[in-house]
Structure 1
Amino acid sequence: MRSYHISRHNSFYAIGLSYKKADAEVRGKFSLDVPAIDRIMVQAKEQGVDGLLVISTCNRTELYGFAQHPFQLIKALCDETPGSVEEFQEVAYVFKNHDAISHMFKVGTGLDSQILGDFEIISQIKQGFYRAKKHEMANPFIERLCNAVIQASKRIKNETELSSGATSVAFASVKYILNHVSDIENKNILLFGTGKIGRNTCENLIKHSNNSHITLINRTRAKAEDIAGKFHLTVKDYGDLQTEIRKADILVVATGAQLPTVSKALIYSKKPLLILDLSVPKNVSDDVRELDNVTLVHLDQLSRITDDTLTKRKAFIPKAENIIEEVKKEFIKWLETRKFAPVINALKEKLNTMKAEEIDFHSKKISDFNQDQAEILSERIIQKITKQFANHLKSAEVDTADSLELIQKVFQLEIDSK
């Protein structure tokens, strides 16, 4: 049985960047679409990496994987994105072993989200795991860790109110519109892009503004029609984008494009136009700010909108952290057992061999030798010895890698590493 463990030879790292230090422009440089994630997986596999998970959202890009040095993972990311290693290192974080495990729990349970308690990230972790599995990069450690994070996330949703109330990027954008635009029910709203954020924004707009003058445009018309059908909205072709922008009072851009799709050249508005860019990388060029009647607001500004909902949510952080600790403890227990189980089993086998030899030797030498009693006594001693070693290896103060090495040397153990 192969042991995927945390050791000084093969460490588990989390490398990445997030909204905390990297603005939308920098995050955009390191954003990964599905084909790029697949290429990273293929490359890493060729280089001997045996466990890797990649997530890329509008707020963060992260790689979780096994490597001798975190630079292997950093290089894998930079090779597939326009961003350089130097740019990455200015805003990056690198977590190792237990810190990397803790970081994934924090991210996956919404405690590290730009809007506290935003659980969108857990679906990204599930997708990342699916891609890892597809490329045979989800080793038992990665699989168990992802399942533990998903379990913690479910429990926090069910047992706390960390995600209560309507607070998300989509809600924040609608709140911004309601606070800054008067006579909202009579304004023309154009929504460009109908992914998850676009869809949520659309639902929030209808719910909170009583506006039915909403037009949807998406590169794939069928997706826009699917959403429009639910709410009786208008759908226009991608080719009509410029014409529709001219008619709009509010433009919400929520596309997944890697380059800006809306620029100054597309806009000929003679009336005030509010543009909300909910995309990472940015999908609206900064040059639109040069137009007098255009106001451009980006996702990062919207995410700073805090309200009573967030204040209420903060009260549930300690409870969420307790749940994380419980689930994490179970995972660490599994990990520790997995780490030293092969050595303890090999030690038990070695001691059993010694026992058999000794019992055989003494049964020939001693005339009234009681083999059954000797078996029972020896077995109990072996159990106690192996338990002592297991307790020693579980101790937090112990360097497990060094101890395992020493046990193997002292007892000349051969570990099956298949």
Structure 2
Amino acid sequence: MHTSLNKNHKFYAIGLSYKKADAATRGHFAIDENAQEAILNSAKAAGASGLIVISTCNRTELYGFSPDAMTLVKILCEHTQGTIEEFLEVAYLHKNDDAIAHLFKVGTGLDSQILGDFEIIGQLKIGFKRSKKLKLINPFMERLVNAVIQASKRIKNETEISSGATSVSFAAVQYIMARVPYISEKNILLFGTGKIGRNTCENLVKHTKNEHITLINRTKEKAEKIAGKFNLLVKDYADIESEIAQSDILVVATGAQKPTINKEILYTKKPLLILDLSIPKNVSDDVKELENVTLVHLDQLSQMTDATLKRRQGYIPQAEGIISEITAEFNAWLQTRKFAPTIKALKVKLKEVQAAEIENVRKKTPDFSEATAQAMSDKIIQKITNQFAHHLRHANGSTAESLALINSIFQLEDSDDV
């Protein structure tokens, strides 16, 4: 499969996810916006024709063109906290068709921690826009990302794979509601303004009718902005110990690289449920030493296999059918791109023959209708080129041989196949 302007480059997907990498390892390879820009600029400087970066709490991935997978691995590791050895222990490296298949699976929620979680498609769109701004999206990647977005929309609309709880944040709320009685009367404290924490907070407000939710963030202005949206109370970071002491539930969603909550700051006498929705983990495991404290991390939440998730699994074949259909359309487009220059060159060659023959006949034939001859021979040329295009489209494994034969018979000039 030839896909890049540089014939030595292939399309790769490299990354790690919750499947093999634990929260701590994923934290080492988490990428913030600055690091994403740095990775893209490094790739551009190295002559890359296309690259997209995705980084969420569940996965870090690079999709792009490269002479080999290790080039992308090195770029990723240069701009994150982890080592190449650590990455390769838990990584996946996919090439060409396998890389395309992986992106479809990820973008349509089939590879999400909670089956049918469509939040990832938003991340893909953001990554795509960022790369396009830096001119790191080639026609292949543009077409591929649009195909994945189309598959995602169709799966969402045509199947029920995303019905019910779709995200870790919703699973967090389900967990709380299933285990905490009289939830509407409990004191809930949200520490941090990470995306999953904000979504959890929104779902808590919506589903528990609780009016005792407090928000604390290191940057108070940020907390006030979010609190206004959900009608929450904001307290100072300095008050965190006393606020935790009054809480029944603590939801931690900070972006810190090391634990921000440990047993030293917990003085609670009543049962306290702590949900750590951060990557890397922001709550130290030592809190479990306290008898009245229960700690749950998002990795545990996403393993919930309730009836909703089991029901969703029944829609996987339908979703895979949609992906197969759209992948086939993408591959057909890719094949067309491979032979389009040859068909174009063939048309030019036939037009040269047409012009010479019309000129010959015009000289020898009185009352010759050049317009009629032109129109008739144009139709013949179109039929001939259509026939060749049809053959090439269905040549499967022999496309390259067929192209070489056409080029040889008609003595066409070599042309790049992208």
Give TM-score scaled by structure 1 length.
0.88
C-alpha distance 52-406 of structure 1, shift in aligned 2 (>3 A): farther
- Counterpart for residue 107 of structure 1: 106
1:353 partnered with 2:352: yes
- Counterpart for residue 72 of structure 1: 71
Question: Using the alignment, how far apart are the partners of 2:217 and 2:274 within structure 1?
Answer: 17
C-alpha distance 80-405 of structure 1, shift in aligned 2 (>3 A): farther
Q: Would you say the 8 A contact 2:194–2:278 is kept in 1?
A: no
C-alpha distance 7-409 of structure 1, shift in aligned 2 (>3 A): farther
- Counterpart for residue 212 of structure 2: 213
1:169 partner amino acid: V
Question: Using the alignment, how far apart are the partners of 2:293 and 2:404 within structure 1?
Answer: 67
Q: Would you say the 8 A contact 1:17–1:88 is kept in 2?
A: yes
C-alpha distance 403-292 of structure 1, shift in aligned 2 (>3 A): farther
Question: Using the alignment, how far apart are the partners of 1:230 and 1:378 within structure 2?
Answer: 69
- Counterpart for residue 223 of structure 2: 224
Secondary structure class of the residue paired with 2:196:
helix
C-alpha distance 94-406 of structure 1, shift in aligned 2 (>3 A): farther
1:149 partner amino acid: V
- Counterpart for residue 124 of structure 1: 123
- Counterpart for residue 303 of structure 1: 302
- Counterpart for residue 236 of structure 1: 235
Secondary structure class of the residue paired with 2:161:
coil
Question: Using the alignment, how far apart are the partners of 2:48 and 2:401 within structure 1?
Answer: 23
Secondary structure class of the residue paired with 1:170:
helix
C-alpha distance 64-402 of structure 1, shift in aligned 2 (>3 A): farther
C-alpha distance 9-216 of structure 1, shift in aligned 2 (>3 A): same
Secondary structure class of the residue paired with 1:288:
helix
- Counterpart for residue 163 of structure 1: 162
Question: Using the alignment, how far apart are the partners of 2:21 and 2:404 within structure 1?
Answer: 42
Please list, as runs of the form range in 1=range in 2, the aligned pairs for 1:348-387 lying within 5 A after superposition. 348-357=347-356, 360=359, 379=378, 382-387=381-386
Residues 49-83 of structure 1 show CA distances to partners (whole Å, capped at 9, x for unaligned) of: 01111111111111111112111211111111112
Question: Using the alignment, how far apart are the partners of 1:141 and 1:260 within structure 2?
Answer: 42
C-alpha distance 396-357 of structure 1, shift in aligned 2 (>3 A): closer
Tell which deviates more after alignment, 13-22 or 327-336. Answer: 327-336
Question: Using the alignment, how far apart are the partners of 1:134 and 1:258 within structure 2?
Answer: 29
Question: Using the alignment, how far apart are the partners of 2:276 and 2:42 within structure 1?
Answer: 33
C-alpha distance 48-409 of structure 1, shift in aligned 2 (>3 A): farther
C-alpha distance 407-35 of structure 1, shift in aligned 2 (>3 A): farther
Q: Would you say the 8 A contact 1:6–1:12 is kept in 2?
A: no
Residues 177-233 of structure 1 show CA distances to partners (whole Å, capped at 9, x for unaligned) of: 233334544432211123332122113323444432221112333333234334432
C-alpha distance 230-359 of structure 1, shift in aligned 2 (>3 A): closer
How many residue pairs get aligned? The number is 415
Tell which deviates more after alignment, 374-383 or 143-152. Answer: 374-383
Please list, as runs of the form range in 1=range in 2, the aligned pairs for 1:75-90 lying within 5 A after superposition. 75-90=74-89
2:153 partner amino acid: K
Q: Would you say the 8 A contact 1:110–1:119 is kept in 2?
A: yes
Q: Would you say the 8 A contact 2:339–2:417 is kept in 1?
A: no
C-alpha distance 389-282 of structure 1, shift in aligned 2 (>3 A): farther
1:260 partnered with 2:282: no
Question: Using the alignment, how far apart are the partners of 1:74 and 1:402 within structure 2?
Answer: 35
Question: Using the alignment, how far apart are the partners of 2:333 and 2:407 within structure 1?
Answer: 21
Q: Would you say the 8 A contact 2:216–2:240 is kept in 1?
A: yes
- Counterpart for residue 30 of structure 2: 31
Q: Would you say the 8 A contact 2:5–2:49 is kept in 1?
A: no
Please list, as runs of the form range in 1=range in 2, the aligned pairs for 1:172-251 lying within 5 A after superposition. 172-251=171-250
1:415 partnered with 2:398: no
C-alpha distance 5-358 of structure 1, shift in aligned 2 (>3 A): farther
- Counterpart for residue 275 of structure 1: 274
Tell which deviates more after alignment, 389-398 or 21-30. Answer: 389-398
* Cα offset, 1:395, TM superposition: 3.0
Tell which deviates more after alignment, 233-242 or 408-417. Answer: 408-417
C-alpha distance 43-6 of structure 1, shift in aligned 2 (>3 A): closer
2:150 partner amino acid: Q
Question: Using the alignment, how far apart are the partners of 1:354 and 1:226 within structure 2?
Answer: 72
Secondary structure class of the residue paired with 2:54:
strand
1:83 partner amino acid: G
C-alpha distance 206-383 of structure 1, shift in aligned 2 (>3 A): closer
- Counterpart for residue 315 of structure 2: 316
Secondary structure class of the residue paired with 1:398:
helix
* Cα offset, 1:162, TM superposition: 1.6
Question: Using the alignment, how far apart are the partners of 1:402 and 1:258 within structure 2?
Answer: 55
Question: Using the alignment, how far apart are the partners of 1:330 and 1:117 within structure 2?
Answer: 23
Q: Which structure exhibits the higher relative contact order, with contacts defined as CA atoms closer than 8 Å and separated by 6 or more residues?
A: 1
Question: Using the alignment, how far apart are the partners of 1:107 and 1:348 within structure 2?
Answer: 41
1:147 partnered with 2:153: no
Residues 26-46 of structure 1 show CA distances to partners (whole Å, capped at 9, x for unaligned) of: 211111111111101000000
C-alpha distance 371-331 of structure 1, shift in aligned 2 (>3 A): same
Residues 236-282 of structure 1 show CA distances to partners (whole Å, capped at 9, x for unaligned) of: 12333233223323211112333333234433444433211111222
C-alpha distance 255-361 of structure 1, shift in aligned 2 (>3 A): same
Give ranges in structure 2 of 5+ residues lacking alignment: none
Q: Would you say the 8 A contact 2:4–2:49 is kept in 1?
A: no
Secondary structure class of the residue paired with 2:283:
coil
- Seq. identity, %: 63
Tell which deviates more after alignment, 85-94 or 225-234. Answer: 225-234
Secondary structure class of the residue paired with 1:99:
helix
Q: Would you say the 8 A contact 1:264–1:288 is kept in 2?
A: yes
Residues 118-137 of structure 1 show CA distances to partners (whole Å, capped at 9, x for unaligned) of: 11111101110111112111
Tell which deviates more after alignment, 223-232 or 234-243. Answer: 223-232
Q: Would you say the 8 A contact 1:5–1:338 is kept in 2?
A: no
Please list, as runs of the form range in 1=range in 2, the aligned pairs for 1:393-404 lying within 5 A after superposition. 393-395=392-394, 397-398=396-397, 400=399, 404=403
Secondary structure class of the residue paired with 2:75:
helix
